Protein backbone atom coordinates (compact mmCIF):
# COMPACT_ATOMS: atom_id res chain seq x y z
CA UNK A 1 0.00 0.00 0.00
CA UNK A 2 2.70 2.44 1.10
CA UNK A 3 4.91 1.26 -1.78
CA UNK A 4 2.26 1.93 -4.37
CA UNK A 5 1.59 5.36 -2.83
CA UNK A 6 5.25 6.33 -3.04
CA UNK A 7 5.64 5.00 -6.58
CA UNK A 8 2.58 7.07 -7.54
CA UNK A 9 4.18 10.14 -5.92
CA UNK A 10 7.42 9.42 -7.75
CA UNK A 11 5.62 9.10 -11.07
CA UNK A 12 3.98 12.48 -10.56
CA UNK A 13 7.22 14.18 -9.65
CA UNK A 14 9.38 12.40 -12.16
CA UNK A 15 9.24 12.09 -15.92
CA UNK A 16 6.11 13.59 -17.34
CA UNK A 17 4.43 12.39 -20.49
CA UNK A 18 1.21 14.35 -20.56
CA UNK A 19 -0.79 14.70 -23.76
CA UNK A 20 1.35 16.43 -26.34
CA UNK A 21 4.52 15.96 -24.34
CA UNK A 22 7.17 13.93 -26.09
CA UNK A 23 9.30 11.55 -24.07
CA UNK A 24 12.85 12.67 -23.52
CA UNK A 25 15.41 11.73 -26.16
CA UNK A 26 17.96 10.51 -23.61
CA UNK A 27 16.12 8.56 -20.92
CA UNK A 28 19.28 7.38 -19.20
CA UNK A 29 20.51 10.93 -18.66
CA UNK A 30 17.10 12.03 -17.42
CA UNK A 31 16.68 9.04 -15.12
CA UNK A 32 19.45 10.47 -12.93
CA UNK A 33 17.53 13.67 -12.32
CA UNK A 34 15.85 14.25 -8.98
CA UNK A 35 12.11 14.35 -8.49
CA UNK A 36 10.67 17.77 -9.14
CA UNK A 37 7.42 18.86 -7.51
CA UNK A 38 5.80 22.02 -8.78
CA UNK A 39 3.67 23.79 -6.19
CA UNK A 40 1.26 26.64 -6.71
CA UNK A 41 2.35 29.56 -4.53
CA UNK A 42 0.27 31.99 -2.50
CA UNK A 43 0.90 35.59 -1.36
CA UNK A 44 2.58 34.13 1.74
CA UNK A 45 5.49 33.07 -0.44
CA UNK A 46 6.52 36.62 -1.40
CA UNK A 47 9.55 36.44 0.89
CA UNK A 48 10.71 33.23 -0.79
CA UNK A 49 10.11 34.75 -4.20
CA UNK A 50 12.10 37.85 -3.35
CA UNK A 51 15.02 35.78 -2.20
CA UNK A 52 14.96 33.75 -5.42
CA UNK A 53 14.79 36.74 -7.75
CA UNK A 54 17.37 38.82 -5.91
CA UNK A 55 19.84 35.93 -6.21
CA UNK A 56 19.57 35.93 -10.03
CA UNK A 57 22.58 37.41 -11.79
CA UNK A 58 22.16 40.44 -14.05
CA UNK A 59 22.21 38.38 -17.25
CA UNK A 60 19.52 36.08 -15.89
CA UNK A 61 17.37 39.01 -14.78
CA UNK A 62 17.71 40.31 -18.32
CA UNK A 63 16.53 37.00 -19.76
CA UNK A 64 13.77 36.62 -17.20
CA UNK A 65 12.33 40.15 -17.18
CA UNK A 66 13.51 41.51 -20.51
CA UNK A 67 15.63 44.17 -18.78
CA UNK A 68 18.24 44.31 -16.04
CA UNK A 69 15.95 45.10 -13.13
CA UNK A 70 17.55 46.76 -10.13
CA UNK A 71 16.98 45.22 -6.69
CA UNK A 72 14.38 47.91 -5.96
CA UNK A 73 12.48 47.06 -9.12
CA UNK A 74 12.60 43.35 -8.26
CA UNK A 75 11.16 44.17 -4.83
CA UNK A 76 8.37 46.16 -6.46
CA UNK A 77 7.70 43.39 -8.96
CA UNK A 78 7.31 40.81 -6.18
CA UNK A 79 5.14 43.14 -4.09
CA UNK A 80 2.84 43.70 -7.07
CA UNK A 81 2.29 40.10 -8.16
CA UNK A 82 -1.46 39.66 -8.31
CA UNK A 83 -2.08 36.13 -7.02
CA UNK A 84 -5.82 36.47 -7.59
CA UNK A 85 -5.39 37.06 -11.32
CA UNK A 86 -2.16 35.19 -12.10
CA UNK A 87 -0.72 31.87 -11.11
CA UNK A 88 2.75 31.49 -9.64
CA UNK A 89 4.44 28.11 -9.47
CA UNK A 90 7.50 27.21 -7.44
CA UNK A 91 9.88 24.32 -6.90
CA UNK A 92 11.31 24.06 -3.39
CA UNK A 93 14.48 22.37 -2.26
CA UNK A 94 14.53 20.41 0.99
CA UNK A 95 15.46 23.55 2.95
CA UNK A 96 12.41 25.28 1.53
CA UNK A 97 14.29 27.64 -0.71
CA UNK A 98 12.79 28.29 -4.13
CA UNK A 99 14.92 26.69 -6.83
CA UNK A 100 12.63 27.75 -9.61
CA UNK A 101 9.69 30.07 -10.17
CA UNK A 102 7.21 30.31 -13.01
CA UNK A 103 4.83 33.26 -13.25
CA UNK A 104 1.84 32.73 -15.50
CA UNK A 105 0.15 36.08 -16.07
CA UNK A 106 -3.28 36.24 -17.68
CA UNK A 107 -4.38 39.27 -19.65
CA UNK A 108 -7.30 40.22 -21.91
CA UNK A 109 -6.52 39.39 -25.54
CA UNK A 110 -6.96 43.03 -26.63
CA UNK A 111 -4.17 44.20 -24.36
CA UNK A 112 -1.69 41.67 -25.73
CA UNK A 113 0.87 42.28 -28.47
CA UNK A 114 -0.20 38.97 -30.03
CA UNK A 115 -3.92 39.75 -29.88
CA UNK A 116 -4.58 38.37 -33.37
CA UNK A 117 -3.20 34.96 -32.49
CA UNK A 118 -6.35 33.68 -30.81
CA UNK A 119 -10.09 34.11 -30.58
CA UNK A 120 -10.06 33.23 -26.85
CA UNK A 121 -10.74 36.21 -24.55
CA UNK A 122 -7.57 35.73 -22.52
CA UNK A 123 -3.91 35.08 -23.38
CA UNK A 124 -1.14 34.03 -21.01
CA UNK A 125 2.40 35.25 -20.61
CA UNK A 126 4.91 33.01 -18.93
CA UNK A 127 8.16 33.99 -17.22
CA UNK A 128 10.40 31.41 -15.62
CA UNK A 129 13.70 31.34 -13.76
CA UNK A 130 15.76 28.65 -12.12
CA UNK A 131 18.58 29.30 -9.65
CA UNK A 132 21.96 28.96 -11.35
CA UNK A 133 22.96 26.02 -9.15
CA UNK A 134 19.82 24.04 -9.98
CA UNK A 135 19.88 24.29 -13.77
CA UNK A 136 19.91 21.30 -16.06
CA UNK A 137 17.94 19.15 -13.58
CA UNK A 138 14.58 19.46 -15.24
CA UNK A 139 13.16 22.20 -12.98
CA UNK A 140 12.53 24.67 -15.82
CA UNK A 141 10.90 21.95 -17.91
CA UNK A 142 8.55 20.92 -15.10
CA UNK A 143 7.55 24.54 -14.45
CA UNK A 144 6.90 25.06 -18.14
CA UNK A 145 4.83 21.87 -18.43
CA UNK A 146 2.80 22.76 -15.37
CA UNK A 147 2.13 26.28 -16.67
CA UNK A 148 1.07 25.00 -20.07
CA UNK A 149 -1.22 22.47 -18.39
CA UNK A 150 -2.80 25.28 -16.36
CA UNK A 151 -3.39 27.19 -19.61
CA UNK A 152 -5.05 24.14 -21.16
CA UNK A 153 -7.29 23.66 -18.16
CA UNK A 154 -8.16 27.37 -18.05
CA UNK A 155 -9.17 27.33 -21.74
CA UNK A 156 -6.27 29.54 -22.77
CA UNK A 157 -4.70 28.45 -26.04
CA UNK A 158 -1.94 31.01 -26.55
CA UNK A 159 1.17 31.30 -24.41
CA UNK A 160 3.59 34.17 -24.91
CA UNK A 161 7.13 34.27 -23.60
CA UNK A 162 9.39 37.27 -23.85
CA UNK A 163 12.21 36.79 -26.39
CA UNK A 164 11.30 33.15 -26.84
CA UNK A 165 13.04 32.85 -30.22
CA UNK A 166 16.41 34.00 -28.97
CA UNK A 167 16.33 31.92 -25.80
CA UNK A 168 17.83 28.61 -26.91
CA UNK A 169 17.11 26.81 -23.65
CA UNK A 170 13.42 27.80 -23.64
CA UNK A 171 13.09 26.94 -27.32
CA UNK A 172 14.55 23.54 -26.55
CA UNK A 173 12.14 23.00 -23.64
CA UNK A 174 9.12 24.04 -25.73
CA UNK A 175 10.13 21.85 -28.67
CA UNK A 176 10.83 18.93 -26.36
CA UNK A 177 7.26 19.34 -25.05
CA UNK A 178 6.08 18.92 -28.64
CA UNK A 179 4.78 22.49 -28.90
CA UNK A 180 4.34 24.45 -32.10
CA UNK A 181 6.25 27.71 -32.06
CA UNK A 182 4.54 30.46 -34.04
CA UNK A 183 6.21 33.58 -35.35
CA UNK A 184 3.36 35.47 -37.00
CA UNK A 185 4.48 38.71 -35.32
CA UNK A 186 8.18 38.47 -36.16
CA UNK A 187 11.02 36.66 -34.47
CA UNK A 188 10.89 38.54 -31.16
CA UNK A 189 7.24 37.86 -30.42
CA UNK A 190 7.11 34.10 -30.87
CA UNK A 191 4.33 32.35 -29.01
CA UNK A 192 3.14 28.82 -28.37
CA UNK A 193 -0.20 27.21 -29.12
CA UNK A 194 -1.66 25.07 -26.36
CA UNK A 195 -3.90 22.04 -27.01
CA UNK A 196 -7.39 21.97 -25.49
CA UNK A 197 -7.94 20.39 -22.08
CA UNK A 198 -9.44 16.99 -21.47
CA UNK A 199 -10.47 15.15 -18.32
CA UNK A 200 -6.99 13.60 -18.05
CA UNK A 201 -5.23 16.98 -17.95
CA UNK A 202 -7.62 18.29 -15.30
CA UNK A 203 -7.08 15.18 -13.19
CA UNK A 204 -3.32 15.24 -13.72
CA UNK A 205 -3.04 18.85 -12.62
CA UNK A 206 -5.04 18.17 -9.46
CA UNK A 207 -2.88 15.14 -8.65
CA UNK A 208 0.35 17.04 -9.26
CA UNK A 209 -0.75 19.81 -6.93
CA UNK A 210 -1.63 17.28 -4.22
CA UNK A 211 1.75 15.59 -4.59
CA UNK A 212 3.57 18.95 -4.45
CA UNK A 213 1.62 19.95 -1.33
CA UNK A 214 2.52 16.68 0.35
CA UNK A 215 6.16 17.10 -0.62
CA UNK A 216 6.13 20.61 0.86
CA UNK A 217 4.55 19.45 4.12
CA UNK A 218 7.13 16.68 4.50
CA UNK A 219 9.99 19.14 3.89
CA UNK A 220 8.50 21.71 6.28
CA UNK A 221 8.07 19.10 9.03
CA UNK A 222 11.54 17.73 8.50
CA UNK A 223 13.00 21.21 8.68
CA UNK A 224 11.07 21.93 11.87
CA UNK A 225 12.31 18.65 13.35
CA UNK A 226 15.93 19.52 12.54
CA UNK A 227 15.47 22.96 14.08
CA UNK A 228 13.97 21.46 17.22
CA UNK A 229 16.78 18.86 17.40
CA UNK A 230 19.41 21.58 17.06
CA UNK A 231 17.75 23.63 19.83
CA UNK A 232 17.55 20.62 22.13
CA UNK A 233 21.21 19.80 21.47
CA UNK A 234 22.13 23.47 21.85
CA UNK A 235 23.77 23.65 18.43
CA UNK A 236 23.39 26.11 15.56
CA UNK A 237 22.47 29.77 15.62
CA UNK A 238 19.20 31.44 14.84
CA UNK A 239 17.81 29.99 11.61
CA UNK A 240 17.39 32.72 9.05
CA UNK A 241 15.88 30.21 6.61
CA UNK A 242 12.52 30.27 4.99
CA UNK A 243 10.38 28.00 7.05
CA UNK A 244 7.17 30.01 6.82
CA UNK A 245 4.05 28.67 5.23
CA UNK A 246 3.21 29.45 1.64
C1 LIG B 1 15.63 28.84 -18.95
C2 LIG B 1 15.73 28.18 -17.58
C3 LIG B 1 14.48 28.53 -16.81
C4 LIG B 1 15.83 26.68 -17.78
O5 LIG B 1 15.81 26.06 -16.52
P6 LIG B 1 16.47 24.60 -16.26
O7 LIG B 1 15.95 24.10 -14.98
O8 LIG B 1 17.92 24.65 -16.43
O9 LIG B 1 15.84 23.76 -17.46
P10 LIG B 1 15.81 22.19 -17.64
O11 LIG B 1 16.88 21.57 -16.83
O12 LIG B 1 14.42 21.71 -17.42
O13 LIG B 1 16.06 22.03 -19.19
C14 LIG B 1 17.10 22.68 -19.82
C15 LIG B 1 17.25 22.02 -21.19
O16 LIG B 1 17.92 22.93 -22.08
C17 LIG B 1 19.05 22.25 -22.63
N18 LIG B 1 20.03 23.29 -22.90
C19 LIG B 1 20.91 23.85 -22.06
N20 LIG B 1 21.63 24.78 -22.71
C21 LIG B 1 21.17 24.81 -24.00
C22 LIG B 1 21.51 25.56 -25.16
N23 LIG B 1 22.45 26.49 -25.13
N24 LIG B 1 20.82 25.32 -26.29
C25 LIG B 1 19.84 24.40 -26.35
N26 LIG B 1 19.47 23.65 -25.27
C27 LIG B 1 20.14 23.86 -24.11
C28 LIG B 1 19.44 21.26 -21.58
O29 LIG B 1 20.21 20.20 -22.13
C30 LIG B 1 18.08 20.76 -21.11
O31 LIG B 1 17.55 19.89 -22.05
P32 LIG B 1 17.26 18.32 -21.74
O33 LIG B 1 16.29 18.29 -20.60
O34 LIG B 1 16.67 17.82 -23.01
O35 LIG B 1 18.59 17.76 -21.40
C36 LIG B 1 17.01 28.65 -16.81
O37 LIG B 1 18.13 28.43 -17.64
C38 LIG B 1 16.98 30.12 -16.40
O39 LIG B 1 16.48 30.46 -15.34
N40 LIG B 1 17.50 31.02 -17.26
C41 LIG B 1 17.50 32.45 -16.97
C42 LIG B 1 16.11 33.05 -17.13
C43 LIG B 1 15.47 32.70 -18.46
O44 LIG B 1 16.10 32.58 -19.50
N45 LIG B 1 14.13 32.56 -18.45
C46 LIG B 1 13.37 32.25 -19.63
C47 LIG B 1 12.74 33.47 -20.23
S48 LIG B 1 11.30 33.94 -19.38
Q: What is the pLDDT of residues 138-177, one digit of tens each?
A: 999 999 999 999 999 999 999 999 878 889 999 999 999 8
CA of 173 relative to ligand 1 center, distance in Å: 7
CB distance 161 to ligand 1 below 6 Å: yes
Residue 176 lies in a domain: no
CB distance 102 to ligand 1 below 6 Å: no
Residue 193 lies in a domain: no
CA of 135 relative to ligand 1 center, distance in Å: 7
Residue 189 lies in a domain: no
Q: Is the pLDDT of residue 95 over 60?
A: yes
Res 163: pLDDT: 77
Q: Is the pLDDT of residue 201 over 70?
A: yes
Residue 222 lies in a domain: yes
Residue by residue, what is the 3-state secondary structure of the chain? CHHHHHHHHHHHHCCCCCCCCCCCCCHHHHHCCCCCCCEECCHHHHHHHHHHHHCCCHHHHHHHHCCCCCHHHHHHHHHCCCCCCCEEEEEECCCCCEEEEEEEEEEEHHHCCCHHHCCCCEEEEEEEEECHHHCCCCHHHHHHHHHHHHHHHCCCCEEECCCHHHCHHHHHHHHHCCCCEECCCCCCCCEEECCCCCHHHHHHHHHHHHHHHHHHHHHHHHHHHHHHHHHHHCCCCCCCCCCCCC
Res 137: pLDDT: 96
Residue 141 lies in a domain: yes
Q: Could you tell me the residue range of the domain that residue 112 belongs to?
A: 36-147+199-230
CB distance 173 to ligand 1 below 6 Å: yes
Residue 24 lies in a domain: no
The CATH number linked to 50 is 3.40.630.30
- Give the pLDDT band of residue 28 (cuts 50, 70, 90): low
CA of 141 relative to ligand 1 center, distance in Å: 8
Residue 171 lies in a domain: no
CB distance 95 to ligand 1 below 6 Å: no
Window from 14-18, 27-31, 194-198, 234-238 with minimum mean pLDDT: 14-18
Q: Is the pLDDT of residue 120 over 80?
A: yes
Could you give the percent of the chain with pLDDT greater than 70?
83
CB distance 127 to ligand 1 below 6 Å: yes
Could you tell which of 29, 140, 148, 178 is best to mutate to test the pocket of ligand 1, judged by most ligand atoms within 8 Å of the CB?
140
Res 29: pLDDT: 57
Res 157: pLDDT: 94
Domain total of the chain:
1
Residue 225 lies in a domain: yes
CB distance 176 to ligand 1 below 6 Å: yes
Amino acid sequence: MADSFFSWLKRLGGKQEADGVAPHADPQHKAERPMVFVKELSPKSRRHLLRHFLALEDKDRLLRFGSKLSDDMVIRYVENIDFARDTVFGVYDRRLRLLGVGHLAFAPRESSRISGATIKPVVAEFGVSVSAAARGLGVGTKLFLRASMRCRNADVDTLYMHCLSSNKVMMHIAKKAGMDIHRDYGEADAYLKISPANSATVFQEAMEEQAAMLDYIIKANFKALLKWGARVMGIGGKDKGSGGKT
